[in-house]
Structure 1
Amino acid sequence: MARNEHTSASSSTAILAQASAGRAPEIERMPRPTLRRQVAMRDGIRLATWVWLPFEGAGPFPAILFRTPYKEHALGWARLGALAYRDAGYAVVFQLIRGVGESEGHFAMMNPLDRSDGYDTIQWIAAQEWCSGAVGMDGSSYAAMTQLAAAVTSPPALRCIVPAVPSTHFFKDTPRFGGIFSRQHALGWTQFTAVDSLAELTPGLWGNAAFLGNPAIWQRLLSRPAIDAAGGVLSEDRLGYYRDAVSHDVLGDFYAARMLGPADYARITVPTMVVTGLFDGSMGSQHLWEMLERHAPADVERRLLIGPWDHGQAYVGGGAGYGAHHWGEAGAFDLAAARLAFFDRHLKGEGEGPRLPGRATTFVTGANRWLAAGTYPHPAAREEAWYLHSDGLANLRGHGTLDRTPPESDEPSDSFVSTPDLPFVPVGAFLDPDLVLDLRERERQEDVLVYTSAPLAEGLTLHGRFVAELHVAADAPDCDVFCWLAEVPPDGRTTQLSRGQLRLRYREGFDREVPLVPGEPVRVRIEMDHVGHRLAPGHRLRLLIGSSLFPLLDPNPNTGEPTATAIAVREARETVFHDAARPSRLLLPVLPEDLA
């Protein structure tokens, strides 16, 4: 497959990391627009809107709309390659959401009014003399979320959408991963929507290398109470959003008004191409796909594309490798051409759409090939249980094992101590891009349990989402559990394949908080993000279990108090059981070797 001309250097995550380290790159700006308008919404609020029309042809033209919180002079829209749409005969429309830049109204992440604003904007575009009446939507991250918000309102002019790496479940993804609040994201992302220049960003809030050298950011991210941590960084609407996000500890009305439910997914009746990456680190796109498959009309065209990309690369494309993974030209894919072919089919009625080998097309690292199927998860995948074992010393690397045999005796449990005021930070992985997925620093910590398989006698291909089913206890009313699935080749590297996490007060659902009874074991299911990887013979499978992922996620104070107002912190001893009565295990999605 052809490679996109854009590279990972132009991805939003790469640009923001450079800016946070004091090396803000020069932003490529769009040329002067054909039109600039303040478009009125149904409540009278006007939203800043820019239009670029094709140079050739008299029109009218189909239109492609981006609704975004990212200002052009802060992050740049030209890097997205949107002008290629103009050159292909499309009107290109960018609009800033409420409360951003020149757009009026009040800012809020996933403002419930994004739904009606999307509808009103699409219908305004369709009514213009330069528009053919056919509108599609494009964009990644938040600009993917605005596509979904508009699609559920069924605007008559909307013909198709291409959402890439959206957040779709706010307790499995941003701003609360497994229920664990991401103060770093809530501060950094929200501030970014307010600034007019990358130079205005608070150093260290974006990019882990910059974070390491900024003690003030360490203090801000560990300070308590969390509700006061935004002072001096955010103000007005954005400060209000941060305080709302940190204060709502259950999936109630506040978050429900900002998320899509089953009835909403049932109303997405336009062709949809969902795009995500193996290294995105979130579950949003897989959750979106599963909900569309479950609730949206079955006769509507849908495509899923999971490539070898991280969050930013899932729109602009990646390179020949990522961390310890190397695939060369095997992973090359022209995302821009695929999107254009999708729009040509549904906005112009031309062509057959993107040249994807299957309805669900995914890249498998290790095998370094694209895999096609009619559904996702892959219909040939089978669930395979791998069980934890040890002599009670799994926090000393080499003492914990992982195999397909259930425990048959009263194996001793493993335990570690969570210290919320002294969370582990993987310095090497933050400083060296080649170590971005390397877990060797983490697995050497005493507060991390490590379980490793014997060298594999034959290859093992993992494909899909899966769960870690653990029996755990703690001597505190609440604690966090993190799981990392990894591959260990003969050279001893430990490379992350997947991650999942859960704040245990949410073990019975995110709509309630159930404290732990100190010392009483409970069974928990920790959802892990998508894995698509083949382990070669001689390689080993490894599971790490710990209690923190700082600075991305807030350490649990282990007191069971509200996230926003907790001040006191305490250590917590967490115990993992793996005996005959309480078998802890991984339930892995395994593909037959003839598909690898």
Structure 2
Amino acid sequence: MSDAFWTGALPAARALEWSSEKELYIEMRDGVRLSTDVHIPKDLDGPFPTVLVRTPYDKDVGEGIVRIRWVDYFLRQGYAVVVQNERGHFFSEGSFDDYLEGAGTDGYDTVEWIVRQDWSNGKVGTIGCSSSAEHQWPMAAGNHPAHAAMIPGASGTAVGDVDGNETRGAFYRGGIPMLSLWMMWYGRLAVTERPVLPRSSTQEERLRLRNFFSMSMRRGFAPDTAEKLKHLPSQDVLRQSGGPRAPFDKYITWTPADERWRDVEHIGAGDRPRVPALHVNTWHDVGVGEMTRLFKYLQELETPDQYLIIGPGPHCLIWQDPPYVMTKADAKELMGGLSAIEIQNMPAPDLARLRFGDLEAGDARYRGVDHGYPKLFLAWFERWLKGADNDTSRMPRVQLYVMNRGWVFDERWPLRGVTPTDYYLVPDPSARLRNEAGMLSSEVPVGESADTYVYNPLDPTPSLGGGCCSFAAAIDQRPVSARRDVLVYSTPPLEEAVSVVGPIEVKLFVSSSARDTDFIVRLVDVYPDGKAINLADDGFRMRYRDGFDRKSLMEDGEIYEISLTNMVTGNRFLPGHRIRIEISSSSFPNYERNLNTGGNNFDETDPVVAENTIHYGLLHPARITLPILPE
């Protein structure tokens, strides 16, 4: 396979001018009109293929990475570019009563509108990261014949019930609501209540308002600290900040099996999208597990032209791989001098020497080449929207950057060469000297052991890193590891490197003095100097051990078996490092606290302190199963 399309310099940008028509209203099938900007090259002969970005974010500021870089980038390469606000956002009409509101039909109808325009060549590609990616999947499920290709980045929160693991688009982990992510997102970016323009507003009026007023959601109403998020009951966390209502207000009161989740347009097991797709993500993204399960599901359906690419870093890091350098002066000229652009246009991370949080990830560029991701995305659209014959048809289906190892390739996910390997929890008398509970061993345990800790919901184990969407997603866990409500199990220092690449399962045997409680597991890479970097985490709410459609409370002294299956990583544990798991009953505020009462939790204010126990040994083989890739 040649590396031609991702090596060397970018294709020479053409010195183009283009016309822009902003604040067009495009009417959907139900009469709702969506605010849309259309950009067309002026000094090239059409018709043109179209790059479409559908987004809930501000087309000028919040979607700055697309507006400043991708719009200009694709226009210079001979594409028309359409940027549209989803229904219920900014000047787009309609309501935002549910996540992914109208994603499937609105995307379909927008493509239908594009291909009717005289500047369109009848081919549309979609691109975007996070929410600008998630809407692509319900749209793709409609399989519009003109939807020729897609590039969804960090799109896991669009994924519903595929591969037998229902997290409702990463709203839950094992039935535990992911609190801080969704408080931030709904509180700042996706509210139900908002000012609405009169139906009679004109394009000229909308342009004047857009140029004069900042249309971005105010940031002050989302609880943005752990102290604010501690408010009880949890159903009122967003309300007590004084902001507008949001879909979170109802979602926090539902269970994972609530029938009303069916109205949310997650892509699910009944869908058969066939649009060629680059599934692009990073290992520390909150939805990487969901995204890989979707890829596996489509792979098992033998869906053609699906590619999985995972690099190192936090949420949407790859979207900070700029296709060209733009100065702050350029940005001000483009955007009318908005001061927010100066913030948006801060220097991008140096992907050749990536450090995020406390993790030094090395060369995070796509295949270690400058402008690798932009060149890949361009080549992808050149193939599917212009009919070019390039190496995207010959590249591996699965391309993974394994931290501390580099790029590895395969044609299947999970990788065909991995060996599932069990590491059991076992006792270790010397572990107490290291403030640990025990150790991890590949030897089958003998005898029986148990470790107990006290979980107090009013003093929850804090989150360090993880979650979404901080750049500092990987943080030294030692301050958390030293707490009395955390159990730590580590291998001895490794004599040889161990590469863990793929989905991970944890099997625990637990008991509690409470009727209901949570268990959180974190996978950690421990360095020779003691630094402990989080790689992935997962949780489980005990009431759901018999299924999300029922509540099964615990009996004091009874031992229960649970499985945690949401963790995914690609990391090489180097010689001298240790593989570690940490077990607690909270990771706050990333996860909602369980108040341990067995009640609704979301409407309660009086918690119960729980004594929680991990059992392990020959009769209770607690373990973590790691997918080991041979060296």
TM-score interval (norm. to shorter): 0.7 to 0.9
Separation (CA, whole Å) in 2 of partners of 1:260 and 1:32? 35
TM-score, with length taken from structure 2: 0.81
Distance 1:361 1:549 in 2: 31
Structure 1 residue 427, shift from structure 2 partner:
7.3
List runs of 5+ in structure 2 lacking aligned partners.
Answer: 1-5, 11-16, 161-165, 195-213, 322-348
Which one is further off, 571-580 or 183-192?
A: 183-192
Residues of 1 paired with 2:445 and 2:308: CA distance?
38
Give yes or no for contact 1:246–1:563 (8 Å, CA) kept in 2. Answer: no
Bigger mean CA offset, 377-386 vs 529-538: 529-538
Query: Cα distance 1:147–1:199, how it changes in 2: closer, same or farther (>3 A)?
Result: closer
The 5 A counterparts of 1:308-327 are: 308-317=312-321, 319=351, 320-322=353-355, 323-327=358-362
- Aligned residue for 2:251? 245
Shift of the alpha carbon at 1:347? 0.7
Alignment of 1:157-306 (within 5 A): 157-166=146-155, 167=157, 168-169=159-160, 171=167, 173-193=169-189, 196=214, 200-202=218-220, 205-206=223-224, 211=225, 218=227, 220-231=228-239, 233=241, 239-258=245-264, 259-264=266-271, 267-282=272-287, 283-295=289-301, 298=302, 300-306=304-310
Which amino acid in structure 2 is aligned with residue 272 of structure 1?
Answer: A
SS at match of 2:78: coil
Corresponding residue SS for 1:309: coil
Q: Does the 8 Å CA contact 1:172/1:179 hold for their aligned counterparts? A: no
Worse overlay, 286-295 or 56-65: 286-295
Q: Which amino acid aligns with 1:53?
A: I
The aligned residue for residue 361 of structure 1 is 399
Shift of 1:422: 1.3
SS in structure 1 of the partner of residue 548 of structure 2 = coil
Structure-to-structure mapping, 1:339-378, within 5 angstroms: 339-354=377-392, 357-367=395-405, 369-378=406-415
Which of 81, 99, 104 is residue 88 of structure 2 equivalent to? Answer: 99
Q: Is the 8 A contact 1:187 1:233 kept in 2?
A: no
Cα separation, 2, equivalents of 1:138 and 1:446: 46
Task: Sort the Cα spacing of 1:31 and 1:234 in 2 relative to 1 into closer, same or farther, 3 A.
Answer: farther
- Of 350-359 and 504-513, deviating more is 350-359
Look up the match of 2:584: 546
Sequence identity percentage: 28
Residues 342 and 588 of structure 1: CA distance in aligned 2, closer, same or farther (over 3 Å): same
Q: Residues 60 and 226 of structure 1: is their aligned pair in 2 closer, same or farther, counting only changes over 3 Å?
A: same
Describe the shift of the 1:128–1:232 C-alpha distance in structure 2 as closer, same or farther (beyond 3 A).
farther
For the structure 1 residues 251 and 353, does the alpha-carbon distance in structure 2 shift closer, same or farther, using more than 3 Å as the test?
Answer: farther
Shift of 1:243: 1.7
Look up the SS of the partner of 1:72 in the other structure: coil
1:304 match: secondary structure: strand
Match of 1:417 among 440, 454, 476: 454
Q: CA deviation at 1:472?
A: 0.8
Q: 1:186 to 1:233 in 2, by over 3 A?
A: farther
Q: Which of residues 489, 496, 507 in structure 1 aligns to 2:527?
A: 489
Task: Write out per-residue CA displacement over residues 34-91 of structure 1, whole angstroms, 9 at most, x where no aligned residue.
Answer: 3541011111010101111123312111111111111124412424523211111111
**Residue 39 of structure 2, aligned match among 52, 61, 64:** 52
Going from structure 1 to structure 2, the CA distance change for 1:243 and 1:153 (only over 3 Å counts) comes to same
CA separation of 1:143 and 1:108: change in aligned 2, threshold 3 A: farther
Indicate if the aligned counterparts of 2:100 and 2:135 stay in contact, CA closer than 8 A. no
Work out the CA distance in 1 between the residues paired with 2:549 and 2:396: 37
> Within 1, Cα distance between the matches of 2:533 and 2:9?
27
- Report the Cα distance in structure 2 between the residues aligned to 1:244 and 1:435, rounded to whole angstroms: 28
Q: Give, in angstroms, the shift of residue 31 of structure 1.
A: 9.5
Contact 2:404 2:574 in 1 (8 A): yes
Looking at structure 2, the residues matched to 400 and 243 of structure 1 have their Cα atoms a distance apart, in angstroms, of 41
CA distance in 1, matches of 2:154, 2:466: 23
Q: Which amino acid aligns with 1:467?
A: E
Can you give the 5+ residue segments of structure 1 that lack an aligned partner in the other structure? 6-29, 212-216
Using the TM superposition, give the Cα deviation of residue 221 of structure 1 relative to its aligned residue in structure 2, in angstroms.
Answer: 1.3
**Aligned 1:350-499 pairs, distance under 5 A:** 350-354=388-392, 357-367=395-405, 369-390=406-427, 397-410=435-448, 412-425=449-462, 436-499=474-537
Show CA shifts across 1:123-168 (max 9, x none).
Answer: 1111111111111111111111110011111212111111111112
Q: How many residues align?
A: 550
AA aligned opposite 1:390: P
Task: State the AA in 2 paired with 1:123.
Answer: E
* Deviation digits for residues 87-113 of structure 1 (CA, Å, limit 9, x no counterpart): 111111111111100001111343452
After alignment, is 86-95 or 161-170 more displaced?
A: 161-170
For residue 291 of structure 1, give the secondary structure of its aligned residue in structure 2. helix
